[in-house]
Amino acid sequence: MAWGLVSMTLRGLLSVVILLSTATSTDGRDVHVTCVFSEDCVLPCSFLPGSEEVIHWMKPEDKDLTIHSYYYSTDQLKQQSQRFRGRTALFNDQIPKGNASLLLRGITLQDQGRYKCYTSTIKGNMESFINIAVEAPVRLVDIELSDDIITCSSTGIYPEPKLTWSSDPPSDLSFDPGTIQNSTSIKVDDRGLYDITSTKQFSRDRTNICTVTSGTVERTATLKQHDPVQGSPSSEVSILCSVSQSDLLTFDLTWRFNQIDTILTSTYTNSTSQMYVDDQWKDQVQSLSDSGSLQLHKLTMVHQGTYSCELSTARDTHLILTYLQITPDKLSDVSDGLSPGSITGIIIAAVIIAAVICYLLRGKL
């Protein structure tokens, strides 16, 4: 016991001496790390390998709050702050190699800030600082059209996002009624993340583009409307889904009816695709072309409506709307074999007979 105390005191003195002699061990520059919200993050820290390692991870901004400690060759978590309980780990097999990096799980916005990594071995001690920024990148931008108003939205973003509207071909903003009537609103959810939504008058004659930007990440959603397509119960109809990106390898394609009912979904990976057709549409869907166009047949009046093709990649979402008008088939089999042609024939014959009668009657008078 007494010897242990003396040895620890000696070691303490020794480390003070070493601390004085290795004043250059802190290089004074913070390491910057960007962590992704809700994911795991590694806070890097390295030291000169040596035995009797002591590692302390702290948050100097919060009165040197203890995040994780390690000495006597094991984790020492009695002093650990509640906020970090169960969320931290060192790479124990790496410690002898001078790696004191800390794994922090389930990153939250409160984890932002400056961290201190203190290490000590028989060779000396070191301090380094790591600055953590947290990002919740824009993942998905949603776009929809209702009553000529386009709504563009995205949720769970950090830092605060920006949303801009544009069009292709570009329009003169001061004359485009769409950009005059825009409105954007931002909300903060209970995790501190931003939800953004914006509405704009639909520009019918061009591609409407919504771009959401946060930090270094930018995602877009586009919406355009094709000319209406005519169909009939006896014909086959092809609805195009042309997106001017031929280099796409991996994307998801979804066809919907009236923007709500899913007709089919298809996932393309390295030019092999997997398609799922909804049961309700099995009779109507004839095929899906390589370019994503939808071939339909056996249509009835209930299939009249708006067909939307949504093509999404990791970066962008493209929505193309096409209105399909169903016209009943020509009256070629009207009930009693009276085709429009035979009706015309009867009328012509009646007119001729009437004319002949008139002529005869006039001759008599």
Mark out the alpha helices in 157-297 (DSSP H runs).
Answer: 177-180
What residue ranges in 139-278 does DSSP mark as E strands?
Answer: 142-146, 149-157, 162-168, 183-188, 194-201, 207-214, 217-225, 229-231, 237-239, 251-257, 261-269, 272-277
Amino acid (1-letter code) at residue 200: K
CB of 86: closest distance to ligand NAG in angstroms?
19
Question: Is 299 strand, coil or helix?
Answer: coil
CB of 296: closest distance to ligand NAG in angstroms?
30
Residue number, 119 or 155, with CB nearest to ligand NAG: 119
**200 bridge partner residues:** 150
CB of 157: closest distance to ligand NAG in angstroms?
15
Largest interatomic CA distance in the chain? 153
CB of 136: closest distance to ligand NAG in angstroms?
20
Residue number, 221 or 285, with CB nearest to ligand NAG: 221
Question: Is 92 strand, coil or helix?
Answer: helix
Beta-carbon count within 10 A of 134 CB? 23
Residue 127, phi then psi, degrees to nearest 5? -135, 135
CB of 182: closest distance to ligand NAG in angstroms?
4
- Interacting residues toward ligand NAG by CB under 6 A: 42, 44, 46, 91, 94, 99, 101, 163-164, 180, 182, 184, 269-270
Residue number, 14 or 188, with CB nearest to ligand NAG: 188
Contact 230, 163 (CB under 8 A): no
Residue number, 101 or 322, with CB nearest to ligand NAG: 101
Question: Is 232 strand, coil or helix?
Answer: coil
Residue number, 43 or 237, with CB nearest to ligand NAG: 43
> How far is CA 207 from each of CA 169, 204, 302, 323, rounded to the nearest angstrom?
7, 8, 28, 16
Residue number, 94 or 146, with CB nearest to ligand NAG: 94
CB of 278: closest distance to ligand NAG in angstroms?
25
Report the half-sphere exposure of 136 (CA within 13 A, side-chain side): 24
CB of 9: closest distance to ligand NAG in angstroms?
32
- Among 208, 211, 207, CA closest to 196: 211
Kindly state the helix (H) or strand (E) to which residue 216 belongs, with its residue range: none
Mark out the alpha helices in the chain (DSSP H runs).
Answer: 2-21, 177-180, 340-364
Residue number, 108 or 184, with CB nearest to ligand NAG: 184
Pairing, β 229-231 against β 316-326: parallel
Residue number, 44 or 96, with CB nearest to ligand NAG: 44
CB of 99: closest distance to ligand NAG in angstroms?
4
CB of 46: closest distance to ligand NAG in angstroms?
4
Residue number, 214 or 308, with CB nearest to ligand NAG: 214
The C-alpha angle 339, 345, 351, rounded to 5 degrees, equals 140
